[in-house]
Amino acid sequence: MAGLVSRLKRITVSRINAFLETVEDPETIFPQLVREMQDRVRDAVKAESKATAANKSNQRHLDESSGRSIRLAKGAELALRHGDESLAREALAEQIKVDSVAENQRRALDQSEKALLEARELRAHLETQLEELKRRKKEILARSRKAKRTAGTYRDMDKIRAAGTAILEEVSRMNQVEEAKEYIPESIDRKSATIEHALEDRLRNLEREAEIERRLNSIREKKQQIRTRSVPDRRTRK
């Protein structure tokens, strides 16, 4: 997806103009370029719509998890107030799980917001280029015809069509630097990975128990503070 967005962002009127100067019959190619640009704009509008829906969904899931975390915290406090420490611990353990899910949802929301912004920018970019392309049609074709009389090389459009390649793909490749190949790390030893995972699980369990204890102590301290404030000063009573 990122590669496609990058290629579409490289499509500009100046690149299209330069491309048309290298083809033998720019008048024939121009309408097809416009149609392809219109198709890409429609695709960008759909992509923006999907990104908007995904962003709203992620926000809704995060709100639901945040609300459940608050309810579990109140439930744990209520259980401890009634002397049911076991139930309080159970509620806090569940709250920690919900908080972990919420953190993942928060990261997903951040990513969806970035994707939405990128989709909006891409749609606006393509719409602007399409409108400029239509507006400058006569100027672009005139320059292409002039360049055709002086240039000695033309792109073989029949071969491009036969290969099923969109003309805009050819435009986006102009002056493109070949991207570096992705580095593929060596495979990790499975036995070592299993040991590491087991150790991490044990440490996570310890961290979870410590967090439950911390939250319980926090509730106890809050409860003690309320009791202290509710007991009148003996000197005042005298």
Q: What is the DSSP string of 155-206?
A: B-HHHHHHTT--HHHHHHHTTPPPPPPPP-PPPPPHHHHHHHHHHHHHHHHH
Question: Alpha-carbon distance 95 to 101, whole Å?
Answer: 10
Instruction: Please state which of the ranges 27-41, 60-74, 196-210 shows the lowest mean pLDDT.
Output: 196-210
Overall pTM > 0.85: no
- Does the pLDDT at position 162 exceed 60? no
pLDDT of residue 64: 97
Torsion angles phi and psi, residue 207, rounded to 5: -65, -40
Tell me the percentage of the chain whose pLDDT exceeds 90. 41
The per-residue pLDDT for range 11-63, each reduced to its tens digit, is 888 888 888 877 777 888 889 889 999 999 999 999 999 999 999 999 999 99
pLDDT of residue 89: 94
pLDDT of residue 143: 77
- Does the pLDDT at position 151 exceed 90? no
pLDDT of residue 160: 59
**Per-chain mean pLDDT for the chain:** 81
User: What angle (nearest 5°) sits at the alpha carbon of residue 11, between those of residues 47 and 54?
Assistant: 15
Mean pLDDT of 62-86: 95
Token code pair at residue 207 = 């961290």
- Does the pLDDT at position 155 exceed 70? no
- Does the pLDDT at position 118 exceed 70? yes
Question: Alpha-carbon distance 237 to 148, whole Å?
Answer: 104
Number of residues that this document lists for the chain: 238
Question: Alpha-carbon distance 49 to 54, whole Å?
Answer: 9
Tell me the percentage of the chain whose pLDDT exceeds 70. 76
pLDDT of residue 113: 97
pLDDT of residue 49: 96
Identify which has the larger pLDDT, 186 or 37: 37
String of b and e for 54-88 (b: at least 16 CB within 10 Å)?
A: bbeebeebbeebeebbeebbebbbebbeeeeeeeb
Identify which has the larger pLDDT, 86 or 231: 86
Question: Alpha-carbon distance 137 to 150, whole Å?
Answer: 21
Token code pair at residue 106 = 């928060």
3-state secondary structure of 155: strand
Mean pLDDT of 147-153: 54
Instruction: Please state which of the ranges 18-22, 189-193, 211-215, 227-231 shows the lowest mean pLDDT.
Output: 189-193
Token code pair at residue 29 = 């190619």
pLDDT of residue 74: 94
Question: Alpha-carbon distance 22 to 16, whole Å?
Answer: 10
Torsion angles phi and psi, residue 23, rounded to 5: -105, 160
pLDDT of residue 152: 47
pLDDT of residue 187: 47
